[in-house]
Amino acid sequence: MKYKTNWLTVMFLKNRNKLLISFSILLIGYFSFLKFGLGTIEGTPIKVEEKAKASSPEEEPETTFLGELQKLMYIKPDSARYLANKQLVEIKGKGSPDESIPYLNVIGISHIYQGHYNKALENFHQTLELSIGDKNSNHQAYAFNNIGVVLLLTKNYKDALDYFFKSYDITKALGDTINQSRSLNNIGQIYLEIDDLGSAISYLNQAEQNFFSHNHKTGISFVSNNKAQYFLKKGKLDSSEYYFRRAIELGKESGNNRGLSLFYFEKGNFFLELEDHPSAIHYYQKSDSLSEILMCNLRSCFAHLGIAKAYLEKGEAAQSNLYVKKALEINEQLESRELQYLINEVLSAIYQERGNYYKAFEHYKLAKEQKGVLFDQAEIYQVYSIEIDQLTRKMELKEMEMEKQELLLGKRKNTMYLIVVASVSLLIILSMLYYFYINKVKQHQKEKLHENQIKHSYEKNKAVMEAEINERKRIGSDLHDGIGTLLSLTKLNMTNVLRKNYLPEQKKNTLLLNSVNSIDEVINEVKSISNSMTPIVLAEKGFKEAIKELVGKINSFSVNLSFHGLSEPLEPFMEHALYRTVQEALNNIAKHASCTKVNIQVLKNQKEITLMIEDNGKGFDMNNPDNKKGLGLKNASSRIESLNGQFFIDSKEGRGTIINIILPL
């Protein structure tokens, strides 16, 4: 499109030359300052507990996928946005706002770099909605901050200030001093823009003091850069240069290269304001070199525009045009609307300097249209502002509802507490009553058990005593009936021999021979009684051989005898008890069982010895008291139990009898 020029337009353009250059420089400084100042754009939130180590958004991004996206934002915002959207699709099904929000921030920041402020605001509004739904105060603070940045870029200072204060209130409540100080720095920056220098320095001093208390060099460097702008506006150039120098030194110490590229650019603007063009170009070039190392095309573009302005003021339009073309080449990738209108403003000034007023006016008008499109979005911002206020109100209503529920819950808790206390008290009382009852039952059982033990002990001792009495009776009977009779007969024979001398010799010899035979019978009888009391075979041959010899004397039934594990001799009292038990059992079987076969097994292990005697006789009724008393095994049972052993009898009529003895070693 071609435009006709007239004399008034030419005169207007001639008189506006210097003013347009100054205005363009101020715009470049303004937007670069907003883009690269401390805490202007927040990406991944920093946790409160990590605030002492928190890094500025201007420090080098992490070497992660998200960090690579943050680097790519400066070079190719479209590519960064594409990859972030792709990642959002992958994590959409997980339902985790904490994972989605960093990528939404990348998308929003990439829109800011390209001047798509309405889209950026849409993304930051979405992060706020997610953080409110997830009740994540950290994310809410960063969302408020980023919305404030967009509003600040569009010169909506009132709303921007409101959102920065919301971010400040949250970080203060969380005790996050570092991010609280960033909010203070952003608030001070707004007051700088509206030339309320008193309020600006107050907030900047608060931010600086907090950063100093944490020795946060990155934070101090960004506040120093803002204070340099403050003193520049106050006309105190020495103080301004001092703070620029401090910002650069701290940027070097902290390794904050992205911040350092901004500080070089701002110092270039400082010297351009003083019309010290060589110094201005020097610092712009330093900013450009560092931006190229960081692959930050956006900042390189601003640096090229600054150099172009410096050469234009020097009257070197051709050199200025070269740097504008470089900026155009960079913006072909960035597609930043902001840079488009700034480049057109500089081109307008270049053509005006060359005297091509038609081209100058054409670029001037194009820049004005682009700038109008960029900033004429007030209605959209108001809609989002209303939606955000509604979200905030919903959040407040939810909090009020939660408080109400907490009060009801508190009342319920108190009621439940009383119920629980009453229940526990009742349970304790019932437990105590049960405890006393159980103790009483246990005591009764204990007394009964003790009585049974005494009774059992009495019965056992009685059985032992009866066994001893019976044994003595048997021995007495054997001595009286056997040995006594034989000795009396021997005495009679011997008396007859001594008193009757007249007896024939043959008769005397017969009497003497009868006496000798009687004495032999006495000797045999004594041996028999002695053997019945303490078997000699036990002492001479041991338990195993004694049992074998005992079994060998039985002719009325067959006996199957087996030993297992009995490789060493037992204690004498144990051998005697077991031998007598076997002897008593075999006698009892011979008298009452009417059997043809008996099995005897002796098993020994490390803990006990087991003796089992089984016959195939007629058996007996275990429930008949007469059978229990007349079996002849009472002595054997008492003998085993006196050694802490166990004596079991299992019998049934027509099935035979099993005697099982377990004697602990």
pTM score, two decimals?
0.51
Q: What is the pLDDT of residues 144-186, one digit of tens each?
A: 998 988 888 777 888 888 899 999 999 998 889 999 999 999 9
Mean pLDDT highest for which of 125-134, 242-251, 482-491? 242-251
**For residue 560, which phi and psi values (nearest 5 degrees)?**
-105, 110
State the pLDDT at residue 11.
43
Gap between the Cα atoms of 70 and 231, Å rounded = 33
Q: Is residue 219 pLDDT above 60, yes or no?
A: yes
State the pLDDT at residue 58.
40
**Mean pLDDT over residues 293-320, rounded?**
86
State the pLDDT at residue 206.
93
- Please give the residue that has the higher pLDDT: either 189 or 416: 189
State the pLDDT at residue 51.
29
Helix axes 137-153, 17-36, angle to 10 degrees: 170
Q: Is residue 9 pLDDT above 60, yes or no?
A: no
State the pLDDT at residue 329.
87
Mean pLDDT highest for which of 87-96, 470-479, 606-615? 606-615
Q: Tell the CATH topology of 536-664.
A: Heat Shock Protein 90 (3.30.565)
- Please give the residue that has the higher pLDDT: either 638 or 18: 638
Q: Tell the CATH topology of 57-174.
A: 1.25.40
Cβ-contact 5, 357 below 8 angstroms: yes
State the pLDDT at residue 660.
92
Cβ-contact 608, 662 below 8 angstroms: yes
% of the chain with per-residue pLDDT over 90: 17
**Mean pLDDT over residues 378-386, rounded?**
50
Q: What is the DSSP secondary structure assignment for residue 52, as one 8-state letter?
A: G
Beta bridge partners, 610, equal 603, 662
Q: Is residue 584 pLDDT above 80, yes or no?
A: yes
State the pLDDT at residue 403.
67
Which pair of structure tokens corresponds to residue 384?
């989002």
Q: How confident is the model at residue 277 (pLDDT cuts 50, 70, 90)?
A: very high
Sole residue written with tokens 């690579």 = 68
Q: Is residue 79 pLDDT above 60, yes or no?
A: yes
Instruction: State the DSSP H helix or E strand holding residue 183, giving kind and residue range, or none if neither.
Output: helix 177-193
**Mean pLDDT over residues 446-453, rounded?**
80
- Please give the residue that has the higher pLDDT: either 46 or 557: 557
Gap between the Cα atoms of 402 and 395, Å rounded = 10
State the pLDDT at residue 27.
42
State the pLDDT at residue 132.
81
List the chain domain ranges.
Answer: 57-174, 412-530, 536-664
Q: How confident is the model at residue 467 (pLDDT cuts 50, 70, 90)?
A: low
**Mean pLDDT over residues 231-251, rounded?**
92
Beta strand pairing call for 608-615 and 656-664: antiparallel
Of 557, 632, 545, 567, residue with least CA distance to 599: 557
Q: What is the pLDDT of residues 342-355, one digit of tens each?
A: 898 888 888 888 88
The C-alpha R_g of the chain, in whole angstroms, comes to: 59
Q: What is the pLDDT of residues 502-531, one digit of tens each?
A: 777 777 778 778 777 778 777 777 766 666
State the pLDDT at residue 405.
75
State the pLDDT at residue 57.
38
**Mean pLDDT over residues 195-216, rounded?**
92
Q: How confident is the model at residue 112 (pLDDT cuts 50, 70, 90)?
A: confident
Gap between the Cα atoms of 473 and 120, Å rounded = 120
Q: Is residue 230 pLDDT above 90, yes or no?
A: yes
CA 373, 375, 379 angle in degrees (round to 5)? 95
Q: How confident is the model at residue 17 (pLDDT cuts 50, 70, 90)?
A: very low
Sole residue written with tokens 């304790």 = 428
Gap between the Cα atoms of 266 and 260, Å rounded = 10
